[in-house]
A and B are shown apart, each in its own frame.
Chain A
Amino acid sequence: MKFLSIAIKDLKELLRDRRGFIFILLFPILFMLVFGFAFGGMGQSNTPYKLAIVNYDEPAILPASNESINFGDNLTQLLTDAKYQNSDVHLFNITKMSESDADQLLKTRKIDAELIIPNNFSQSVVALINYTILSTTNPLAAGQSNSTNITSTLIIRGDTGFINFGASQGILVGVLAQYQDEIVTQTQNTLKGTPGAQPITFLNSKVEPIAGTQNFTTFDFIAPGMIVFAILLLATTVAASLTREVENGTLARLKLSKMRGFDLLFGGLIPWSLVVVAQVVILLVVAISIGFHWQGGTDSILMAILIGVIGGIASIALGMIIAAFAKNDRQAANLGTLITVPTSFLIGAFFPLPNAAIYGFQFNEILPWTHTLAALRSTLTYGGSGDVLYQIGISLILTVILFIIGVAIFSRNRLSAEN
Chain B
Amino acid sequence: MNSYIIETKDITKEFDGFKAVDGLSLQIKKGEVFGFLGPNGAGKTTSIKMMVGLLKPTSGEVLINGQDMKKFDKALIGVCPQELVLWDNLTCEESLKLIGDMYEVPKDVLKGRIEQLLNDLILTDKANTLVTNLSGGMKRRLNLALALVHQPEIVMLDEPSEGLDPQSRRVLWKYIRSLRDEEGKTVILTTHLMDEADRLSDRVAIIDHGKLLCLDTPDNLKKDTGEGDVVEITLSDAKMNQKVIKKLKEMENILSVIDVEGIINLRALNAVSKLPQIMESIEETGERMADLSVRQNTLEDVFIDLTGTRLRE
Tell me, yes or no, whether A5 is within 8 Å of chain B by CB: yes
Q: Mark B68-96, 1 if CB is under 8 A from A, else 0.
A: 01000011010101010111011000100
| Cβ 8 A contact of B104, one of A12, A252, A253, A258 | A258
Tell me, yes or no, whether A249 is within 8 Å of chain B by CB: yes
**CB-based nearest B residue for A251:** B85
Tell me, yes or no, whether B103 is within 8 Å of chain A by CB: yes
> Taking each of B75, B83, B94, B102, which has the highest tally of chain A beta carbons within 10 Å of its own beta carbon?
B102
| Contact between B81 and A249, CB atoms less than 8 A apart | yes
| Contact between A250 and B87, CB atoms less than 8 A apart | yes
Tell me, yes or no, whether B260 is within 8 Å of chain A by CB: no
Name the A residues within 8 Å of B53 (CB-CB): 256, 417
Interface positions of A from 1 to 54, Cβ below 8 Å from B:
2, 5-6, 9, 12-13, 16-17
| Cβ 8 A contact of A256, one of B54, B69, B130 | B54
Tell me, yes or no, whether A419 is within 8 Å of chain B by CB: yes
| Contact between B52 and A256, CB atoms less than 8 A apart | yes
| Contact between A9 and B79, CB atoms less than 8 A apart | no
Name the B residues within 8 Å of A6 (CB-CB): 98
Tell me, yes or no, whether A255 is within 8 Å of chain B by CB: yes
Provided the pairs A9-B94, A418-B54 are in contact, do residues A253 and B75 lie with their beta carbons within 8 angstroms?
Answer: no
> Taking each of B55, B69, B101, which has the highest tally of chain A beta carbons within 10 Å of its own beta carbon?
B101
Q: Mark A247-269, 1 if CB is under 8 A from B, else 0.
A: 01110111111110000000000
Name the A residues within 8 Å of B75 (CB-CB): 258
| Contact between B102 and A257, CB atoms less than 8 A apart | yes
Provided the pairs A9-B90, A417-B53, A417-B54 are in contact, do residues A257 and B99 lie with their beta carbons within 8 angstroms?
Answer: yes
| Cβ 8 A contact of B79, one of A5, A13, A256 | A256
Interface size, chain A (Cβ < 8 Å):
22
Q: How far apart sit A256 and B148, CA to CA, in the bound complex (Å)?
A: 13
Tell me, yes or no, whether B146 is within 8 Å of chain A by CB: yes
Interface positions of A from 362 to 419, Cβ below 8 Å from B:
417-419
| Cβ 8 A contact of A250, one of B77, B85, B97 | B85
CB A194 to nearest CB in B, in angstroms, measures: 75
| Contact between A253 and B90, CB atoms less than 8 A apart | no
Tell me, yes or no, whether B56 is within 8 Å of chain A by CB: yes
Q: How far apart sit A13 and B131, CA to CA, in the bound complex (Å)?
A: 11
Provided the pairs A249-B81, A257-B74 are in contact, do residues A9 and B87 lie with their beta carbons within 8 angstroms?
Answer: yes
| Contact between A258 and B103, CB atoms less than 8 A apart | yes
| Contact between B86 and A5, CB atoms less than 8 A apart | no
CB B62 to nearest CB in A, in angstroms, measures: 11
Name the A residues within 8 Å of B130 (CB-CB): 16
Q: How far apart sit A13 and B130, CA to CA, in the bound complex (Å)?
A: 11
Q: Mark B200-235, 1 if CB is under 8 A from A, else 0.
A: 000000000000000000000000000000000000
| Contact between B74 and A252, CB atoms less than 8 A apart | no
| Contact between B87 and A419, CB atoms less than 8 A apart | no
CB A69 to nearest CB in B, in angstroms, measures: 76
| Cβ 8 A contact of A258, one of B55, B69, B83, B102 | B102
| Contact between B94 and A255, CB atoms less than 8 A apart | no
Interface positions of A from 94 to 119, Cβ below 8 Å from B:
none
Q: How far apart sit A253 and B104, CA to CA, in the bound complex (Å)?
A: 15
Q: How far apart sit A16 and B94, CA to CA, in the bound complex (Å)?
A: 13
Q: How far apart sit A259 and B74, CA to CA, in the bound complex (Å)?
A: 10
| Cβ 8 A contact of A257, one of B55, B83, B86, B103 | B103
**CB-based nearest A residue for B87:** A250
CB A293 to nearest CB in B, in angstroms, measures: 41
Name the A residues within 8 Å of B86 (CB-CB): 248, 250
| Contact between B87 and A13, CB atoms less than 8 A apart | yes
| Contact between B89 and A2, CB atoms less than 8 A apart | no
Interface positions of A from 232 to 258, Cβ below 8 Å from B:
248-250, 252-258
Provided the pairs A9-B90, A12-B89, A13-B89 are in contact, do residues A254 and B102 lie with their beta carbons within 8 angstroms?
Answer: yes
Q: How far apart sit A140 and B146, CA to CA, in the bound complex (Å)?
A: 88
Name the A residues within 8 Å of B74 (CB-CB): 256-258
**CB-based nearest A residue for B130:** A16
**CB-based nearest A residue for B81:** A249
Name the B residues within 8 Å of A259 (CB-CB): 102
Name the B residues within 8 Å of A256 (CB-CB): 52-54, 74, 77, 79
> Taking each of B83, B86, B87, B150, which has the highest tally of chain A beta carbons within 10 Å of its own beta carbon?
B87
Q: How far apart sit A257 and B53, CA to CA, in the bound complex (Å)?
A: 11
| Cβ 8 A contact of B56, one of A12, A254, A419 | A419
- Name 26 interchain pairs, CB-CB below 8 A, sorted by A: A5-B97, A5-B101, A12-B94, A13-B90, A16-B89, A16-B130, A17-B89, A248-B86, A249-B81, A249-B85, A250-B87, A252-B81, A253-B99, A253-B146, A256-B74, A256-B79, A257-B102, A257-B103, A258-B74, A258-B102, A258-B104, A259-B102, A417-B53, A417-B56, A418-B54, A419-B56
Q: Given contact pairs A13-B87, A417-B54, enumerate 11 new A-B contacts (beta carbons under 8 Å).
A: A2-B101, A5-B97, A9-B87, A250-B86, A255-B54, A256-B52, A256-B77, A258-B103, A258-B104, A417-B53, A417-B69
Top 5 nearest A-B pairs by Cβ distance?
A257-B102, A249-B85, A5-B101, A16-B89, A13-B89
